[in-house]
Structure 1
């Protein structure tokens, strides 16, 4: 990769006030000089309130370039500004993009220097500037710009190109986002723009896969659904919709059929092994020493700027946790485990884990539950390390009357039903859910000027909490009524928008694209092809041969 221009490098890496302001508004500056307009819905609601920034979109992503010159008296925008009215180019760019993004006033000096830099080093900018000169010379001639790929011959002396001729789109982007000592790291300094780049790359990869599925329906055994007899049996009585249906196979990760099959696999395990005993939720900690150590290689970096590092460290921690639970038998001999990966609306990945233990080693009494699951504040003097961990990770809220704007509040009520009630001992309610021991012992934790007691503590295991220095919620779930809810919860799939489509034909691919949400943290995880779901032992789905 070529080194960046000196001006851009200074803006991206130094602590000058001008550079800091530029990085805070880097997406706005990038939009000012974009050649195309972005056709995507950016989910801004996810960034309301305190917390790190996360770039999140919903629906499809399109880029529109338009004509070289404005049509019908419309003001010039995007690529047209490289050709039309260049004297007022900077003012129009700031006015157009600033209005769309709701951005603060941009620095005119930075805008001018960015323009000069692009004119000097960007071949696309130079091509559009050349078109501007041609239009001035021949105003009555129709012109078009054709962008061609590189015509250079392959470098046969390069061992990398000779050893591997082709690379997948995912492999290329995954290679490029890595940090290497021998290469520049200007990409990794992009902050919010780098998050946007990650999401765009994932959209391109996913669109390519969906295009292949749409144009090869026969390979996924979808042809039988287009047969006239089968169509009539399914209620497709309108002739013009037959052979116009597009189905998304269960082999596509994240599709509704994929999540439904994972749910059925979990239920099959439950039918064979019975109910699971423990349900764990493990959330990444952006302040893990491994993450902070990697961020030191590039100055001025924060965890939300390097979500690929967060994803890789969380994967290692998750494997360590599963090794502790399964190989080291932390709660006893584990015979089955099922987990799924999800992503918080503010970015951090987390895992939902179900564990089946060997029945002979499990005591179903409430005393056994109290020995492995705590829902109380520890003694600060006797266990200072545990007290600090509980204070950082296992306190819910404050919510309710203390903070009605908390994200868990729905209709002025906490959706997680906090704060709980004080209980002298652990019991099970009529739904089979555990009501943990929360004694009124006067111990409190101060959080945002509120003194939180045992009623606001999320159930945890002291050993795991200290071992992994992260939020690990441990719940007892060995009851039939809780199982179906838990399995649906871990197999519900990613967030989707509510949408009503009135059409005679079924296009599951379009419905998936219209309803999906993609965040930078999820994209970072998927680029490395880390598992979204895992189960052990595996479940084999037997094919069913119908008569005829």
Structure 2
């Protein structure tokens, strides 16, 4: 085993299983001393024999017997002074403009250096000019009135915006949503456990069942409104006039809904052909200036289509089958299918292959492409002159932000899983440790994925920083 690092500063030791176990034993010893400190003579806890001395450097146990009454009195005094000051955090006005993307930011969000006069470039919005994406289109007037109005009708729409979005969504939202946190009188909180997944079904519901999600768009007129009002868990919270108003707006402006309207027209014209709809994942544009689907981004097909010839990332909507198809989070329609009220024009979302600014399209270096985090950071900024639909509704915006962050974390975990050799996975014990512990069956061992210390929130990240 290599010796400790001799760099200046805090002594660092290689992380081993013995080191981790000794550290855990030491923390348990501290906790026991804290619970029974009334009967223990003051003094630092005795470390276990296997605990290296480096673990004990500048790491006193909070609340243990090593804390003297004088120290506790000083801490309490500082707490009282802080509470009496009633200090307010003031970071200035939201009036700074990024020199590259025009986003409104706070001055305290600036990082790095700036030389010369003129506006500064910020990294929180466009990574100091590296990210260039098309802006969202203006909000339709009907939707803007519902989002910004203060009358009773608009206020009720705000409180049920997630329900209105569900009845117009073309895909279903999957995830363990925890609503118990909203039992109090505080502001609304959207809490989600586990990962996020969006699924899409078939074009027509089975015989005798009510339509859901994209199947609503196979109906027209008053029948479409009545089916949406019968959506599960809606009760009497939906206003039929608002439902009809939003349906007319989406039929007029949303490109994706226009595609499903074409499917409905073909279904009525030729009922003998089992129509399939394929929403393509690949794009021909560079993603810098155009974000609306074109006629080449989808296609209709009949029985001659072979499933194996399609891109596995494409969305293939069948005529009438059983089961759901999961949509990959790197498909351009992943967000716009789920949030038609936040993307009323059906704009494209994140996809692979969007190059950084001034990077030629022939450059194959993946390090010079826009990441999912950079895409969402650019999209969530306020800019004068662009559409603000995404930022207008509070509850629906919270759901979008949580879902986007879950997708970012999932993509990071997927990268770590696929690049275990880069993070020196062979240095960590796996199968040998399992056999030594008595796990001799391969089915019980499984595959171990090691999270490096650079993964925020991981075990090694917490051990290294805390």
Residue 284 of structure 2 corresponds to residue 89 of structure 1: no
Structure 1 residue 84: deviation in Å? 4.9
Contact conserved, 1:12 with 1:23, CA < 8 A, in 2?
A: yes
- In 2, are the aligned partners of 1:226 and 1:243 still within 8 Å (CA)? no
Q: Which residue of 1 is the match for residue 388 of structure 2?
A: 185
Shift, 1:38, TM fit? 1.0
Give the 3 Å change call, closer, same or farther, for CA 21–122 of structure 1 in structure 2: same
State the partner residue of 1:143. Answer: 275
Aligned partner of 1:252 in structure 2 is: 455
Does structure 2 conserve the Cα–Cα contact (< 8 Å) formed by 1:226 and 1:242? no
SS state of the match for residue 180, structure 1? coil
Match of 2:372 among 169, 173, 197: 169
TM-score (ref. length: structure 2): 0.51
Taking the TM superposition and a 5 Å limit, the aligned residue runs for 1:405-420 are: none
Give the counterpart of 1:68 among 171, 178, 203: 203
Q: Name the counterpart of 2:174.
A: 39
Residues 214-233 of structure 1 correspond to what in structure 2 (within 5 A)?
Answer: 214-223=417-426, 228-233=431-436
Distance 1:75 1:173 in 2: 35
2:278 alignment partner, SS class = coil
* Distance verdict in 2 for CA 1:68–1:86, change over 3 Å: farther
Q: Note closer, same or farther for the CA distance 1:103–1:59 as it changes in structure 2 (3 Å cut).
A: farther
Distance, in Å, in 2 between the alignment partners of 1:18 and 1:39 is 29
Local SS of the residue matching 1:217: coil
TM-score, length basis structure 1: 0.43
Which of residues 30, 55, 59 is equivalent to 2:194? 59
* Cα deviation digits, residues 359-416 of structure 1 (max 9, x gap): xxxxxxxxxxxxxxxxxxxxxxxxxxxxxxxxxxxxxxxxxxxxxxxxxxxxxxxxxx
Name which of 148, 153, 160 aligns with 1:25. 160
Q: What is the correspondence of 1:360-439 to structure 2 with a 5 Å cutoff?
A: none
Q: Tell me the matched-pair count.
A: 259
Greater share of helix: 1
**Aligned partners of 1:249 and 1:258 also within 8 Å:** yes
**Residue 138 of structure 1, CA deviation:** 1.9
> 2:332 maps to which residue?
none
1:132 lines up with 2:259 in the alignment: no
Q: How does 1:260-409 map to 2 (within 5 A)?
A: 260-263=463-466
- 8 Å CA contact 1:214–1:246 kept in 2: the answer is yes
From 237, 240, 265, give the equivalent of 1:105.
Answer: 237
Q: Which residue of 2 aligns with 1:418?
A: none
**Structure 1: where are the runs of 5+ without partners?**
264-548
Alpha-carbon distance, 1:147 to partner: 1.3
Distance in structure 1 (CA, Å) of the matches to 2:288 and 2:169: 35
CA shift for structure 1 position 239:
2.6
- Contact conserved, 2:430 with 2:448, CA < 8 A, in 1? no
Classify the secondary structure of the residue corresponding to 1:202.
helix
2:170–2:214 contact (8 Å) kept in structure 1: yes
Q: Tell me the equivalent position of 2:74.
A: none
Aligned to 1:267: none
TM-fit CA distance, 1:151: 4.9
Change (3 A) 1:17 1:258: same
Matched, 1:201 2:404: yes
Residue aligning to 2:439:
236
Of Structure 1 and Structure 2, the greater strand share is in 1
Q: Mean alpha-carbon deviation: is it higher for 238-247 or for 69-78?
A: 238-247
Provide closer, same or farther for how the CA distance between residues 16 and 141 of structure 1 changes in structure 2, counting only shifts above 3 A. Answer: same
Shift of 1:162: 4.7
- 1:7 corresponds in structure 2 to 142
Mapped to 2, the partners of 1:232 and 1:157 lie a distance apart of 56
- Give the SS at the match of 2:170: coil
Secondary structure in 1 matching 2:228: helix
Instruction: Give how far 1:82 is off.
Output: 1.0
Please report how far the alpha carbon of residue 175 of structure 1 lies from its aligned counterpart in structure 2 after TM superposition. Answer: 1.6
Match of 2:247 in 1: 115
User: Taking structure 1 as reference, are residues 162 and 221 closer, same or farther at Cα in structure 2, changes over 3 Å only?
Assistant: closer
Q: 1:211 maps to which residue? A: 414
Distance 1:151 1:206, change over 3 A: closer
Q: Distance in 2 between matches of 1:68 and 1:31?
A: 17
What is the CA-CA distance between 1:157 and the residue it aligns to?
9.6
- The structure whose RCO (Cα within 8 Å, separation 6+) is larger is 1
Query: Residue by residue, what CA displacement relative to the aligned partner does 1:256-299 show, whole Å, maximum 9, x if unpaired?
Result: 34324434xxxxxxxxxxxxxxxxxxxxxxxxxxxxxxxxxxxx
Please give the root-mean-square deviation of Cα atoms over the aligned residues, in Å: 2.8
> Post-superposition shift, 1:173?
1.0
User: What SS does the aligned partner of 1:171 have?
Assistant: helix
- Report if the CA contact (8 A) 2:160-2:237 is conserved: no
Decide whether aligned partners of structure 1 residues 4 and 241 sit closer, same or farther in structure 2, where only a CA change above 3 A counts. Answer: same
Q: Deviations over 1:21-74 (max 9, x none)?
A: 212211111111011111112111111111111111111211111111213643
Partner residue in 2 for 1:439: none
Aligned to 2:87: none
For the structure 1 residues 15 and 133, does the alpha-carbon distance in structure 2 shift closer, same or farther, using more than 3 Å as the test?
Answer: same
Asked if the contact 2:356–2:370 (Cα under 8 Å) also holds between the matched residues in 1, the reply is: no
Q: CA deviation at 1:79?
A: 0.8
Residues 246 and 206 of structure 1: is their aligned pair in 2 closer, same or farther, counting only changes over 3 Å? Answer: same
